[in-house]
Each structure stands twice: as structure tokens, then as C-alpha cells.
A and B are shown apart, each in its own frame.
Chain A
Amino acid sequence: MTALAHDLAIGFAHVFVPYNFGMLVVGLLIGMAVSIMPGLGLVLGIVLTLPFTYKMAVEPSIILLTAIYIAGTYGGCFTAILYKIPGEPSDVPLLWDGYNMNLKGQAAKALGWACIAALIGGLVSSGVMVTLAGPFARFALTFDSPDYFAVIALGLATVVCLATSSLAHALLSLFFGLMIATVGIDSTYGNERFTFGQPLLAGGINYVTVLVGAYGLGEVFVRFGRRLTLNGEAMGSKVVGTRFPSWREIWALRGTICRSTGLGTVLGVVPGAGAVITSFVAYGIEQQYSKRDRPLGSGVPQGIVAPQIASTASVAGHMVPLLALGLPGSGATAVILGAFLLHGVQPGPEIFVTQPDTAYAILASLFVGVIGMCVIGFFWIGLVVKVLKIPQPIIITIVVLFCIVGSYAERNNISDVAMVVVFGIVGYLFDRLRFPIAPMVLGTILGPLAETAFLRTMIRYDNDWTVFFTRPISGVLSVLAILAFVLPLVARLRRSRPRKEWRPEHESNVRPAP
């Protein structure tokens, strides 16, 4: 415990180095800004900021991107509460009660609850996960290549959690990402694969181009398919303040706070369960178990606190497996993993041994980031009103410019830009055909790691694939991976079977007021 406090103290010292702290503040501002603009979102914010980190050291880069991630889970609450516009999908549950509180003239109080919820969820979750990070990493140091493959397989298998409409679509998206990663010269034997004689493909397809294209340009093309608003989204220019709840009011919601914090932290560790899923699940749990005078959806603080706490708490839950195991559990952490790799750093247990200062600086930045975003949030409302008045055509054009110049900046190569446009079209088609993008991105980033671990295992163990099941760690992880893949499949098959209509007694209350 003393060692942890010592390491964390050094981490805090690194965070408060002026340049790192500056990047943290910039990240918080970017995260807050992108999350109030519908259609941009925190993942896109991280993707668009990625090119600016090329020339930075790894520490400020990751602090910057992590700050965007944290702030992105909070910034959207302003537009949700004030204008009924969920800046992020994770803000949808919060909107149901937040906007209703606004209609009752309690907008300032609703914003105060959201701020307190983000603060509690972020700090408690960060505390829990930082405490677990060291033991997690020490355990992971005992991993051999079969164990690594099994842990990556678990990450890939749980990608089914990212399946929004169809499991098959999520799987095909994942396989597509894995195939993209095989293009070029393979790292084990040096054979050329799927280059079709094109020098452009010989070096492989850079995952940054996949990220920027599919998330950035793809989203722009999708937005073009809808009518872009010219007068912004602002409905009036009412400016309110933030009014914090009293200690007594906070104490009265202790059950909601404990449940949602625990849920957000635990679900955050589960790959695939991002801020969106955790906020919806927290709201659903609150719907069923909390004691309150009025139902959720009618403008009660529980409906704001539960999803906000859970979505902010999920950030620490995702960052620690990323740092300790090198396993991204969401689109945002996949991009942050990409940033690590761009700087030649492979996240995983070794990072706590080889670069402990960097690892703990990133963990410490979670605490500072949570506090910082709440401080910024207190003064944020005036800017929200102004930003929402920018016509959407201008915003999305600027996004295109960032995507193009960002993809060019890495290698000063126009071919990379062309590739980004290709993946922009892929992103657009994925949206039209309802294929999720996140599995493709995870496949592109994790594919080479999985293949290397697999081939290394096969070489070391004479092609004996049973080693994945006979070693204790890889055995448990492999079984978990199979379960993670099979259980949702079985559940979907069971759901698709016709059955007798049944409505739970409380279902009439389940649908919150939109």
C-alpha cells in the first residue's frame, strides 16, 4: 500500500509538470467540446486529436487523450439537460430525467447533480482501479504466450457485447478488421500477404487510417445523409448556472450512488461494455431497485445520478485493463492503445516495470482529470450555448479537414490520405448496412498481437493447440472467451424463438418519459 502511495505520488508529480498539466486541461476542454456536439462524440474527439500527439512524448499524449475520454463522458449532460440533445449516446438515460427537471425550472439543480455524480463516480472508480492495477499487472507478468493469446481472444470474443443489432454483423466487422491487419509483410515469417502487387499495401494498412477514416470521415458522410442544421441546435439562449445539491440530499441518494459506482466500475472492466452500456444498465437497475417518491423519467435526481456516475466510473474501469494487460475494452481505449503503439510503447504488465512513472502518471491523471472536468463544467454553460449555434456544415467540414491533415501528418504520404477516404466510405457503408465499426477497429489493432501470440505458441509448443486449454491461466481465459462468445449467441437464439407473451408487472413504468 505504501509502495502504491509512493508510485501514485510520483504519478501526481508528473501530472503537475506544466506541459503535462497543460495537455490535461486541453484534453478536458476538447472532451467537453466534442461531447456537446451531436455527431462528434468522444471517440471522434480522441481520433481527431491523435495526429497532434505524433511529436509529443508518450506521457503527455496519453494524458491528453485520457482527459478527452473522461470529459467526454460528462460534457454531454449539458446539452441533454438544457436542450434535450444527447451529446453522447451515454447521455440518453440522463436526458429523460434531466430535461424533465429543466422543464420544471430545476435545470441548475440537474446540472449540479450531474456534476456531483461525475465527481463521485470518477474518483471512487479511479481509486478502486488504481489500487487493483499493480496486483493486476504483477499477475499478468506471469503470462506466457498462450496466456497472452487467450487474453486477447477473450477481448475479441467479448466484442459481441458491442453488437448493437446483429451478432453476425459484429462478427463480420471483427473479421474484416482482423483481415485488414493481415495485409502486408507478416511479422513472424516475413511473407507478403494480400498486397496484390501494390507497393502501397506492402507496408500494411496503418490502423490510424482505419480509425480516422471509419470513425471520422464515415461519420461525416453519414451526417450528409441527413439534413444538416444551419442555426445550430440551440433552442433559445437561456443561460443558467449550476446549483449543487446539499449534503443531506446527497446522503439521501447514497444507495443510488453506491450501486451505480460499483456497477460502472465492474462493467468498465468488461471489454465491450463502454460508457453507453453502463449508463443504460445503471438506469435500468435504478428503475428496478431504488426507493423514491416519483418514477424515473419524471424528473428525479436518481435518473441523472445513476447513468452519470456509471458512465464516468467506466473510464477508470477501461483504462486499467488497457494499462495492465494491453487490452482495450472500448472504441476510445482502442484509439488510446493505438496512440501508445504509435509511440513505440506496448501497454501491458511490463509498462509497470519498465516505465512505472508513465503508468502511474496516467493513472494519477484520472483523478486530476475528474476534478478538473467538474471545475470546468461549473463554468461551461455559456460556451455550450455559443458552440451549439455554429452551423453543422461548418463543423463537419472542419472534421474532414482534421481527418485529412491528421492522416497526412504521420508519414507525409498522400497514399495514407487516400486510404482514409477509402475507410471513410467503409464507415459510411457500415452505418448504412448496420455493421458496428468498433469491432473492426478492435480487430485491426488487436489482430497483429493475437496472430503473433498464436504463432509463437504454435512454434514453442509444436503446433499443440490444446495448450490453450491445459495451462491454468490460458485455460480459464479460453473457457471464458468461449463462454463470452457462446452465451450471447444462445441468448439471441432463445429470444428469436416464439414464446408466450409475458409482461412484467412493472413494465408500464419502465418506459421513461422521453
Chain B
Amino acid sequence: MRVVQTFTRFVHPAVLPYLLILSLCGFLLVRAYAIPGGPDGQLGADIWPKTILLLAAGTCVWEVLRNLWTTDIASHVEPGPAVVDEHEPEDRVPPWLPWVAIALTGVYVLLLQEIGYFLATFAFTAVFIYVGNYRRPLAALVTGAIAALAFVFIFMKVVYVALPLGHEPFARLSAFIMELMGIR
């Protein structure tokens, strides 16, 4: 029972993030010791990261101890980096929705090289708007097309950025769009 209680204290949201950061500091500190020191007794490139990591670790230890001592873990409400949803009930959305947005953005980045900027942006914009509570498929598709064309025009024609064209057969479509816009 005592072991369970101790474990509960350490995995509590008021303590756990600091323990995770502390572990990360420990790991990086080990890596920092692999950095060569300076020549002839001079301080080397290792001193700066080591100092930062020790300060970060010290801050974590301080917060862990402070939270363990001052927080009633059983009835913990406020202190520490606990995740608190302070929005009105009607503003709440499924908690996984931001992660869907992150996943969509990740897929978009992966698709950029494969299908080219225009197609990837068109698809991403339409889906992202739709997932973001704008449930009008046609409007989302039209907005996606306009946004993709506008960004291609602004960044390729005006700012001269070589946006990805994608692999065949998508590269041909990208080239066609560029030709339509007079981009060479």
C-alpha cells in the first residue's frame, strides 16, 4: 500500500513532468560528457551545455520537492503544470482534435515532396478547414483550390521560392499550373 502511495505521488501531474524533464537532463548530461573539453586547461564547448543542464535539473528537483512537500497530492487541484481545461463547456471539443490537426500537418509535410506543393496544399486546406468545424465540403474544396493557387502565385511568381513540384505524374500537373500562371 505504501509503495502504491509513493508511486501515486511521483506519477501525479504536479510531479511527473518535472521527473520526465529531469530524466531528459540526465540523458543529455551523459551525452555532454562526451563533448571534448578545451585545450590547455581552457574551458571547452562542453561547459555551456553542462551548466544549462545542471541548472535545469536543479529547477526540476526544486519543483519536485516543492510539490511533494507543499501539495496535497490526494486532493491536488492547482499547483504544477497540470493540464487544466479552463474553457466554457460549449467551447470544448474532443481532446484528440488538436492531435488530428498535428497529424494532418505531418501528413501534409510528407506529401509536399511526393505530390507537389499545389496538390498537397489543395488537399490539406480542404481537409483542415473541414476538420476545423467548417462542414461545407464544396466551400472547403473551393477555398482549398483558391488558397493553393494563391500561395503558388505569391511564393513562386512574386517571392521566387522554388516550391516542391512532386514526383511524376504529379510533377506534370505542377508544371501545368505554373505554366498557366506564367511561372518559369
Contact = CB atoms under 8 A, between A and B. Distances in A.
Interface of A: 51-52, 54-55, 166, 168-169, 171-172, 175-176, 178-179, 182, 186, 188-189, 191-194, 217, 220-222, 224-228, 230, 391-394, 396-398, 400-401, 404-405, 408-409, 412, 414, 417-418, 421, 424-425, 428, 432-435, 451, 454-455, 458-459, 463, 496
Contacts of B26: none
Interface in B122-136: 124-125, 128-129, 132-134
Interface of A is mostly: helix
Contacts of A186: 45, 48
Contact of A409 (B41, B70, B161): B161
28 contacts: A52-B159, A54-B159, A168-B59, A169-B81, A172-B21, A172-B59, A175-B53, A179-B56, A189-B38, A224-B100, A227-B133, A392-B132, A393-B133, A396-B132, A397-B124, A401-B124, A404-B108, A409-B159, A412-B162, A414-B113, A418-B109, A421-B106, A424-B105, A433-B81, A433-B83, A455-B43, A455-B47, A458-B43
A168 B38 contact: no
A218 to B, nearest CB: 10
A191 B133 contact: no
A178 B52 contact: yes
B109 A417 contact: yes
A425 B63 CA distance: 24
Given A193-B49, A428-B98, A393 B106 contact: no
Contacts of A224: 93, 97-98, 100-101, 132
Given A175-B55, A182-B52, A421-B105, A228 B159 contact: no
B128 A400 contact: yes
Given A52-B159, A397-B128, A227 B45 contact: no
B92 A227 contact: yes
Interface stretch (B3-11, B28-36, B168-176): B28-36
- Interface of B (DSSP majority class): helix
B81 A435 contact: yes
Nearest to B132: A393
A227 B108 contact: no
Contact of B161 (A397, A412, A418, A421): A412
B45 A179 contact: no
A330 B161 CA distance: 30
B44 interface: yes
Interface residues on B, range: 35 or more
Nearest to B84: A434
Contacts of B18: 168
B161 A188 contact: no
Contacts of A432: 83
B63 A458 contact: no
A166 B81 contact: yes
Contact of B133 (A217, A230, A417): A230
A178 B108 CA distance: 30
A168 B100 CA distance: 30
Given A168-B62, A168-B63, A228-B133, A398 B147 contact: yes
A166 B78 CA distance: 12
Interface string B113-126: 10001000100110
A36 B149 CA distance: 26
Interface of B: 17-18, 21, 28, 31-32, 35-36, 38, 41-49, 52-53, 55-56, 59-60, 62-63, 70, 81, 83-84, 87, 90-93, 95, 97-98, 100-102, 105-106, 108-109, 112-113, 117, 121, 124-125, 128-129, 132-134, 143, 147, 151, 155, 159-164
A217 B59 contact: no
Given A228-B132, A393-B128, A463-B41, 8 more contacts: A168-B18, A175-B52, A186-B48, A194-B28, A227-B91, A414-B112, A414-B164, A463-B42
A227 B128 CA distance: 14
Contacts of B46: 191, 193
Nearest to A169: B81
A108 to B, nearest CB: 31
Contact of B48 (A182, A192, A417, A418): A182
A421 B53 CA distance: 25
Minimum-distance CB pairs A-B, first 6: A393-B132, A175-B56, A186-B45, A393-B134, A433-B81, A224-B101
A222 B95 CA distance: 11
Contacts of B70: 496
A428 B102 contact: yes
* Residue of B48, B53, B81, B91 with highest tally of chain A CB at under 10 A: B48
Given A226-B91, A230-B133, A393-B132, A193 B35 contact: yes
Contacts of B164: 414
B49 A179 contact: yes
A55 B158 CA distance: 11
A227 B135 CA distance: 13
A429 B124 CA distance: 23
A181 to B, nearest CB: 9
Nearest to A52: B159
Contacts of B109: 404, 414, 417-418, 421
A227 B18 CA distance: 30
A222 B83 contact: no
Contacts of B52: 175, 178-179, 182
A194 B25 CA distance: 12
B143 A394 contact: yes
A391 B132 CA distance: 10
A400 B105 contact: yes
Nearest to B66: A168
A222 B151 CA distance: 24
Contacts of A392: 132
Contacts of B62: 168
